[in-house]
Copies of this chain bind each other. A is one copy, B any other.
Amino acid sequence: MITRDYLEKVDINKAYRLLNLGATCMVTAEYNGDTGAMPATWVGALDYNPTKCTAVIAKEHYTRPLIEKSGYFAIGVPSVAIAKELFYLGSVSKNDEKDKLEKSGAEFFTLDNSKIPLIDGCIGYLIFKVIPEPHNEQVYDLFIGECVAAYADKRVYKNNHVCFDGVDPKLHTLHYVAGSHFFALGDELKGDGFGLDE
């Protein structure tokens, strides 16, 4: 109940802005009732009108064949509030621990007619249809997706912009470095510090 009660559908042409921040993402996918969930740092925007993304999903991940078979994946942009759950989901594979998702403490839900479970506590969610690019997928583990639906927490995404003014810092995004090291996104640059006239 961290963010899912605050979601609203947003413009898929502008939803790439949720990815612009460069936050570590949560990738989820579903096939035939089976769900995979993994954090991924190597996710980014590729285009707008509509939003496209790139996502690096290595072959050993449980989530990858679910994406390949279903042709869809979801990207969540996690907040600090679910750092613990995100870290757990990234520290074990469902290949090794079948009840990883339950053990993570993450709460899953779906939206509209998508079957892909999403993880509560993200400030935005984008549902992508895979644009098949077999060469990229095989050689680089690189998937390209075209956004078919997007949702964002209306407390932090207003008029198609992320805005953290007056927002609980627990809703800021997470940025991964290596090991167990994450940073939280800080304040917006304003005034003299930015060197711009307001």
Contact surface of A with B, Cβ cutoff 8 Å: 14, 17, 20-24, 41-47, 52, 54, 56, 80, 83-84, 87, 135-136, 140-142, 144, 160-162, 164, 172, 174-189, 193-196
Contacts and interface: CB of A to CB of B under 8 A. Distances in A.
6 contacts: A21-B22, A21-B177, A22-B24, A41-B45, A161-B179, A185-B185
Copies in the complex: 2
Contact of A84 (B140, B176, B196): B196
A83 B177 contact: no
A187 to B, nearest CB: 6
Given A42-B44, A194-B83, A161 B177 contact: yes
A67 to B, nearest CB: 17
A180 B196 contact: yes
A83 B138 CA distance: 38
Given A22-B21, A47-B140, A182 B175 contact: no
